[in-house]
């Protein structure tokens, strides 16, 4: 009887060890996939940051060319964001904020045009 119990105990331990080994391999694969995802995400974020920097430079150049007070537009955007409570209200208030900034930019450009005689 003692030998039969030992055999069953060894079989249980072997089964448990195989289960742990399978789980460990699954975890290793998940970690590897997560690492790959992190690297891909880092690369995408880097590309997006570079793209945003390029777009910012273009917008600043266009604003300067058009005589738009970029600091004023930024201040208005920050005020609008603070008044709407940040990101939560940004989607619904984005259109009205954009219209206000456009009107402000147009007024600034018109004032600049009047000053230069254009």
Same domain, 88 and 77: yes
pTM: 0.51
Same domain, 32 and 47: yes
Q: What is the pLDDT of residues 32-62, one digit of tens each?
A: 999 999 999 999 999 999 999 999 999 999 9
Q: What is the pLDDT of residues 56-105, one digit of tens each?
A: 999 999 999 999 998 899 899 999 999 988 655 444 444 444 454 445 54
Average pLDDT over residues 7-34: 96
Same domain, 54 and 80: no
How many separate domains does the chain show?
2
Report helix, strand or coil for 12.
Answer: helix
Same domain, 59 and 71: no
Average pLDDT over residues 97-118: 50
Return d(Cα 22, Cα 7) in angstroms, integer.
22
Same domain, 58 and 20: yes
Cβ neighbours of residue 70 under 8 Å, at least 6 residues apart?
60, 63, 64
Same domain, 5 and 59: yes
Same domain, 56 and 103: no
Same domain, 51 and 72: no
Residue showing tokens 């995802």: 37
- Residue 85: per-residue pLDDT: 81
Q: How is 76-108 classified by DSSP, letter by letter?
A: HHHHHHHHHTTTTTHHHHHHHHHHHHHHHHHHH
- The last residue of a domain, from among 48, 65, 82: 65
- Residue 88: per-residue pLDDT: 52
Average pLDDT over residues 113-117: 51
Name the burial class of residue 68, with classes exposed (0-12), middle (13-18) and buried (19+) by CB atoms within 10 angstroms of its CB: buried
Q: What is the pLDDT of residues 22-32, one digit of tens each?
A: 999 999 999 99
Same domain, 77 and 35: no
* Domain of 17, in residue numbers: 1-65
CB 84 within 8 A of CB 93: yes
Same domain, 56 and 87: no
């Amino acid at each position: 009887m003692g030998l039969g119990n030992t055999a069953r105990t060894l079989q249980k331990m072997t089964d448990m060890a195989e289960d742990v080994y399978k789980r460990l391999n699954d975890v290793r694969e998940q970690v590897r996939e997560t690492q790959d995802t992190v690297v891909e995400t880092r690369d995408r974020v880097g590309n997006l940051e570079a793209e945003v920097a390029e777009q910012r430079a273009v917008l600043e150049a266009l604003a300067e060319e058009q005589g738009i007070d970029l600091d004023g537009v930024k201040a208005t955007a920050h005020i609008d964001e603070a008044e709407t409570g940040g990101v939560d209200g940004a989607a619904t208030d984005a259109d009205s904020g954009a219209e206000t900034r456009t009107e402000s930019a147009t007024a600034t450009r018109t004032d600049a045009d009047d000053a230069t005689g254009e």
